[in-house]
Amino acid sequence: MDEYEIINSFQKEESTFSGLEDKNGEEFLGVEGKLSDEFGKPIGKHSSGKIFPKNVKTVYKLKEIFSWLEPEATKGKPSFGFGDRIGLATPGHIRAVENFDVFPVFAQQSIREMTRTNRKPEAVLTDAVWGVFREGYKNGFGADADHLKTKEDVEKTANAGFKMFTCDPGDFVNNVQDMDEDSVYKSFKKIPESDDLLLKYEDEVYKSENFEFKFNEEDVIQAAVKYYDAIEHAGRMFKWVEENINGEFEYEISVDETAYLTSPKEHIFIVRELLDRNIDFDNLALRFVGEFEKGIDYKGDLSEFISEFKIHSEISQKLGSYKLSLHSGSDKFSIYPVFRDIIPERFHVKTAGTNYLEALRVIADREPDLFEKIFDFSLENFEKERETYHISLNINDVVTLSEFDSNDYSESLNRDSIRQVLHVNYGAVLTAKDNSGEFKFYDDIIEILRENKYLHYKYLNKHLSKHLEKLTE
């Protein structure tokens, strides 16, 4: 009996490249023909040729050979980001997206996520590209280096091969609403071009179907104090991307992780200043009205959101061709139809944590004892791990697993409080080690997901298809 099962095969230059799977669900590359020497020393042989491990070296060489394994910029297409914090989810993502007219971004990770999971940009891209090869998906995909803050962030992800760069200048956004009038004015006068800004926007009127805005002096001062430094940083980061990328790339600016809303006038100010600096941005993530907490639906007045979103949409149409981007987009089912109906061709949505939760659904189904340990660990660490996330959950309101039969733990993942406790602990769970230096959970999670990969893909397909249906149908 053969030790490996052939998943698929592709030909190029008189060589055959096969995805292989062993009895434990681990995957490898088999290469037969003259190009096999390009991959270095094999770890074995098979009827499909020499066997190579699924690692960065192997997969990067593979994408040099097959152009459809190279990430692309989405450039104006409605798009959807599938964040994969474990590295095994792309086949499930492909099963979901191939039924919808949306451009997929399979490699999407923030520096914060990579730090928490101890992954490097090359590993994130390797896992996504391998999933594309495994499934033979040739319709194009993106790779988003998310929430970048520094020049080093840009350099690391650009060198790894990412093609979309999300600048997060949130550290430079000033909470002007918390400042007194005198402090605001003094801060404004420190801006080198403060007088020119007042002249630029004097008597400026912006009209569209649902709005008419005219800037007064206070509007300009407030917007400049709040966002000027952030816009300057976005400009610096754009130049860093240009210096590190040859060819087409996509640039997104995100001011969503801030304390206060982005008003329509502030939206106008941001875009005008970006354009005047010749920053060729593709997507803009604003701080919309309402609450966008991790792993659960939108919290807020839906009618208010729709009213505000219509105005933001018309501003984006009037001032440029950029897409509006929704961060913390996982499970925001109530507002997906708003994006679909108002900007059907001009949205980008990012998800991440919900994919991790579907992996835990597999654990809950197949190894409830392990799921229980992961939940208890996550609950114990909740207050610490929530610190960098906007979550209003009170730990005393968390539903406990005692309310569920152990054979039905997967149902617990439909409860908001449990979802959020597990969501914010992904990094702690995936990296926790015992006193002997062994992983507490990671190795077991990987083993179970490999052994039950088609159940994993099924859950991802079902859950992410629900997202895409709401966004497109």
Which pLDDT score is estimated for 364?
Answer: 98
Amino acid at 53: P
Buried b (16+ CB within 10 A) or exposed e, 423-451: bbbbbbbbbeeeeeeeebbbeebbebbbb
Which pLDDT score is estimated for 75?
Answer: 74
Q: Topology of domain 69-174+204-353, per CATH? A: TIM Barrel (3.20.20)
Q: Where are the domains of the chain?
A: 4-54, 69-174+204-353, 362-464
Which pLDDT score is estimated for 208?
Answer: 87
Tens of pLDDT, residues 335-348: 999 999 999 999 99
Residue 87 has phi, psi (to 5 degrees) of 105, 10
Which pLDDT score is estimated for 2?
Answer: 67
Task: Decide if 171 is catalytic.
Answer: no
**In this structure, what token pair is assigned to residue 240?**
């860093």
Q: How crowded is residue 351: how many other Cβ atoms within 10 Å of its Cβ? A: 25
Look at the pTM and tell me if it is higher than 0.75.
yes
Cα–Cα distance measured from residue 384 to residue 388, given in angstroms and rounded to the nearest whole number: 9
Catalytic-labelled residue, pool 252, 257, 293, 385: 252
State the average pLDDT over residues 130-149.
98
Contact 164, 249 (CB under 8 A): yes
Tens of pLDDT, residues 72-125: 998 789 999 999 999 999 999 999 999 999 999 999 999 999 999 999 999 999
Which pLDDT score is estimated for 203?
Answer: 83
Catalytic-labelled residue, pool 113, 146, 266, 293: 146
Residue 23 reports pLDDT greater than 90: yes
% of the chain residues with pLDDT over 70: 100
Task: Decide if 252 is catalytic.
Answer: yes
Confidence of residue 303 (pLDDT cuts 50, 70, 90): very high
Buried b (16+ CB within 10 A) or exposed e, 92-121: bbbbbbeebebbbbbbbbbbebbebbebeb
Contact 253, 271 (CB under 8 A): no
Average pLDDT, rounded, for the chain: 96
Tens of pLDDT, residues 189-202: 999 999 999 999 99
Q: How crowded is residue 29: how many other Cβ atoms within 10 Å of its Cβ? A: 26
User: What is the DSSP annotation of 102-144?
Assistant: -EEEEEEEEHHHHHHHT--HHHHHHHHHHHHHHHT--S--EEE
% of the chain residues with pLDDT over 90: 96
Residue 1 reports pLDDT greater than 70: no
